[in-house]
């Protein structure tokens, strides 16, 4: 299950603990839907991975605050610290898993 | 439609030969419902010490090696998650808490000590979990179960229908799809695309090949768009209107064959289900056949 964050109010607090994927998207973005499906599968197999869905249409200020240059943008946080990001909707599940794996377990 | 179908093998016999023994059962549907609804609510608890680790367990390891990645006091992995080393995840299956194993990674020996093994705990299903799925008009467990049952059964029946049609078309006696029929089927498909991509004086009828290529030609995107916008996906593999028509010839011929077979089985000769006259002929005929197959599988099966 993804957690929807309508504003930036509690965002920093939410991603402060554990591994989080912050998924910045807009409702009319097709590639965002693809990424959504992939993240859903990853989270299904990995209950320790948390997923925050951030609809930019609810708060465009997030775009500037988190330097989101395009949708979808995935920002990976480990205990509150940004560890990496992926921009665009044409990453395979394997590519996203590899990125997560590197962050959690190292290379 | 000029293309004619003359004879068709007994479709019910073909269906029986293919069979539907792997059709979703109540148990498998319930399992899927459980899995879908409880994601995000799953917790872990210590599992009995003698219980072997299985896929889905959370395992805390101590790793010892000269490799930094594998020389840690604490590494937590979910077995079967594909995020750690797949071979190591597989190796852990069947082990128990307190056991150790050695494995070779990048030519170095790594010692893995299973410090802790936890099993998944699934909470009881609730309406709140259903509401978190944000499905329009579905707010309770019975509604969700019904929705999933229909969805999974229909998905299976669609697959079955495709397999049955392939066999029937292979053994049917019918004309090769007529060139004019093919052109009309493609016209039907092209029309909404042309309407969708017409801006000012620039539309798909007069777009230059350079502009077309710049806008659409990206075969890598086609696969992605097939999942999101299947209606416009065929454009992403073309370089001009002619190229689109050329690409669509095969699929259009297959649409004609499928519709002929489906019209025969369903005894439907209406113009509304003539693919040269209606774009929705094929999906509507398919849906009617899928509904019929669901009836056969779940009433008689």
Which structural domains are found in chain A, ordered by start? Answer: 3-100 (3.40.30.10)
Range of the domain at B284: 5-26+134-300
Q: What is the pLDDT of residue A31?
A: 83
Burial letters for B97-130: b for 16+ Cβ neighbours within 10 Å, e otherwise?
beeeeebebeeeebebebebbbebeeeebeeebb
Q: Would you say residue B202 has pLDDT above 80?
A: no
* B40:A2 CB<8 A: yes
Which has the closest alpha carbon to B263: B252, B254, B273, B277?
B273
Average pLDDT, chain A: 85
> Does residue B129 belong to any structural domain of this protein?
no
For residue B167, name the pLDDT band (cuts at 50, 70, 90).
very high
* Chain A partners within 8 Å of B39 (Cβ): 1, 40, 43-44, 47
Q: Verify that B212 and B72 share a domain, yes or no.
A: no
User: What is the pTM for the complete model shown?
Assistant: 0.72
Query: Could you say which of B39, B75, B76 has the minimum Cβ distance to residue A1?
Result: B39
In a domain, B36, yes or no: no
Instruction: Tell me if B184 is assigned to some domain.
Output: yes
- The answer, for A28 touching chain B at a CB cutoff of 8 Å, is no
Query: What's residue B301's pLDDT?
Result: 44
Same structural domain, B115 and B228: no
Q: Which of A37, A40, A105 sits opposite B75 (nearest CB)?
A: A105
* B145 and B176 co-located in one domain: yes
Considering the domain architecture, whether residues B249 and B169 belong to the same structural domain is answered as: yes
Rounded to a whole number of angstroms, the distance from the CA of B247 to the nearest CA of chain A is 24
Burial A87-100 (b: 16+ CB within 10 A, else e): eebebeeeebbebb
Instruction: Classify residue B250: in a domain, yes or no.
Output: yes
User: Cα B189 from chain centroid?
Assistant: 23
The domain tally of chain B equals: 2
- Lowest-pLDDT range of A99-103, B198-202, B204-208: B198-202
Asked whether residue B126 is domain-assigned, the answer is no
Same domain, B280 and B157: yes
A100 touches chain B (CB under 8 A): yes
Q: Among B88, B121, B154, which residue terminates a domain?
A: B121
Answer yes or no: do B238 and B117 share one domain: no
Residues B159, B56 share a domain: no
- Tell me which residues of chain B, numbers 165 to 204, contact chain A at a CB-CB cutoff of 8 Å: none
Among candidate residues B94, B121, B148, the one where a domain is terminated: B121
Together in a domain, B157 and B271:
yes
CATH number of the domain bearing residue B105 = 3.10.50.30
Instruction: Tell me the average pLDDT across B230-238.
Output: 84
Q: What is the mean pLDDT of chain B?
A: 91
Confirm whether A32 is a catalytic residue: yes
Among candidates B80, B132, B224 on the partner chain, residue whose Cβ is nearest the Cβ of A34: B224
Residue A24 pairs in a beta bridge with A54, A73
Give pLDDT, residue B207: 85
Taking only the tens place, the pLDDT of each residue in B241-280 is 999 999 999 999 999 999 999 999 999 999 999 999 999 9
Q: Which of B77, B100, B121 is the C-terminal boundary of a domain?
A: B121
Q: Is the pLDDT of residue B223 over 80?
A: no
Same domain, B224 and B278: yes
A29 in active site: yes
The structure tokens 């946080």 sit at A77
Q: What are phi and psi of B167, to 5 degrees?
A: -65, -45
Whether residue B204 is found in the same domain as residue B242: yes
The pLDDT of residue A8: 55
pLDDT at A7 over 60: no
The tens digit of pLDDT for each residue in B17-62 reads: 999 999 999 999 999 999 889 877 888 999 999 999 999 999 999 9
pLDDT, tens only, A15-52: 888 899 999 998 878 788 889 889 988 988 888 898 88
The span from the CA of A59 to the CA of A68, in Å, is: 12
Whether residue B142 is found in the same domain as residue B106:
no
B85 and B172 in a single domain? The answer is no
Residue A64 confidence (pLDDT): 86
Query: What pLDDT, on the 0 to 100 scale, is given for residue B119?
Result: 95
Cβ contact B66:B42 at 8 Å: no
Task: Classify the complex by whether its ipTM is higher than 0.90, answering yes or no.
Answer: no
Is there a contact between A46 and A104 (Cβ–Cβ < 8 Å)?
Answer: no
């Amino acid at each position: 299950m993804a957690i929807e964050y309508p504003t930036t109010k509690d965002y920093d607090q939410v991603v402060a603990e554990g591994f989080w994927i912050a998924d910045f998207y807009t409702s009319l973005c097709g590639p965002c839907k693809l990424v959504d499906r992939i993240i859903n599968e990853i989270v299904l197999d990995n209950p320790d991975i948390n997923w925050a869905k951030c609809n930019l249409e609810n708060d465009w200020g997030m775009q500037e605050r988190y330097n989101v240059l395009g949708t979808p943008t995935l920002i990976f946080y480990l205990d509150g610290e940004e560890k990496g990001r992926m921009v665009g909707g044409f990453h395979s599940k394997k590519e996203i898993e590899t990125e997560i794996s590197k962050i959690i377990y190292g290379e | 439609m000029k293309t004619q179908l003359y004879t068709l093998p007994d479709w019910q016999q073909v269906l029986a030969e293919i069979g539907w023994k792997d059709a979703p059962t109540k148990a498998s549907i319930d399992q899927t419902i459980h899995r879908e609804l409880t994601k995000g609510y799953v917790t872990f608890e210590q599992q009995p010490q003698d219980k072997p680790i299985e896929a889905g367990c959370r395992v805390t390891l101590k790793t010892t090696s000269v490799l930094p990645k594998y020389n840690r006091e604490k590494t937590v992995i979910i077995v079967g998650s594909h995020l750690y080393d797949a071979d190591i995840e597989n190796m852990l299956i069947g082990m128990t808490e307190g056991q150790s194993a050695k494995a070779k990674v990048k030519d170095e020996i790594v010692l893995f000590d299973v410090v802790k093994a936890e099993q998944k705990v699934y909470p009881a299903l609730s309406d709140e979990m259903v509401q978190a799925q944000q499905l329009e008009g579905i707010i309770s467990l019975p509604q969700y179960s019904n929705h999933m049952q229909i969805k999974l059964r229909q998905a299976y029946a669609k697959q079955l229908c495709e397999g049955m049609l392939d066999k029937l078309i292979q053994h049917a006696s019918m004309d090769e799809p007529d060139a004019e029929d093919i052109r009309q089927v493609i016209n039907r498909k092209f029309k909404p695309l042309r309407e969708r991509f017409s801006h000012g004086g620039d539309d798909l009828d007069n777009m230059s090949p350079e502009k077309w290529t710049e806008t659409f030609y990206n075969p890598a995107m086609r696969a992605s768009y097939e999942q999101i916008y299947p209606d416009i996906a065929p454009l992403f593999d073309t370089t001009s209107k002619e190229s689109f028509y050329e690409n669509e010839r095969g699929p259009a011929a297959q649409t004609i064959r499928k519709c002929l077979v489906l019209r025969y089985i369903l005894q439907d000769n209406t113009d509304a289900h003539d693919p040269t006259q209606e774009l929705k002929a094929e999906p509507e005929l398919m849906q009617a056949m899928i509904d019929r197959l669901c009836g056969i599988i779940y009433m008689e099966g």
